[in-house]
Amino acid sequence: MFDFSGTLLRIESTEDWLGAGLAATGIRLSDEEFRATVGRLTEYGALPGGSAPRRMPAHLEALWAERDVSAGQHRAAYGGLALAAGLPEPEPELAQALYDRHMSPAAWRPYPDTGPTLRELRRRGVPVAVVSNIGWDLRPIFRTHGLDELVDAYVLSYELGVQKPDPLIFRTACERLGLPPAEVLMVGDDRTADGGAAALGCPVHFVDHLPVDRRPHGLTPLLDLLG
């Protein structure tokens, strides 16, 4: 079992994300305004898959805690954070463009060893599931990057109605792989969410959630662990 964001693929930088949103809406900012907006978006953790919020508005706390349970909650949580951070006018239009951008394949890059690792697992006959806390369908991302044929099952929180670390999401993945939990390794970057698989009896291996160019070999050691 693999987590998605920060494990197999990484979202673009906040700078690139905002730049794409501005281009899509035709909004122009000065360099100073651009840098300031990037700083606020980063502080509020408004980029899905990016850094965690350092500031959380009180009215979004409950929504944030269960943001990955449904598509509506995910959109409302991240859209709310973007608006709370303060966007240039027209705010709703840019908030929509930013949310749409993060779901596009162009916004995601696989880690350098993602493809080679998944291909080697396929060669060895090891089945693979992607288990993600997410509010939208990530399958097009995998298809665009040529990885979909290397994944046997997708277990997505918004489709199941529960999010990691709930044992149900890991149990569902094990069932779809046709294996008992003790024989399924969970690989992720979040010690709380992904570490929840241990309660089910799954071994767990953690990788660092780093930019793509700073983690070229984070997944390669798995091949030695699996023998």
Q: What is the per-residue pLDDT for 86?
A: 96
CA distance 120 to 220: 10
Whether 171 is covered by a domain: the verdict is yes
- In this prediction, residue 227 carries a pLDDT of 67
Domain count, the chain: 2
For residues 166 and 119, membership in a common domain is answered with: yes
- Taking the chain (227 residues) in runs of 10, the rounded mean pLDDT of each run is 98 98 98 98 98 96 98 98 96 97 98 98 97 98 98 98 98 98 97 97 96 96 84
Helix ranges (DSSP H) in the chain: 14-25, 31-43, 61-65, 71-85, 91-102, 114-123, 139-144, 157-160, 167-177, 221-226
Residue-level pLDDT at 225? 83
Looking at 55, 81, 107, which one is the last position of a domain? 107
Please tell me the pTM assigned to this model.
0.96
Whether residue 117 is found in the same domain as residue 80: no
Same domain, 172 and 221: yes
Are 94 and 121 within one domain? no
CATH for 192: 3.40.50.1000
Same domain, 60 and 142: no
Q: Are residues 112 and 100 in the same domain?
A: no
Residues spanned by the domain of 102: 11-107
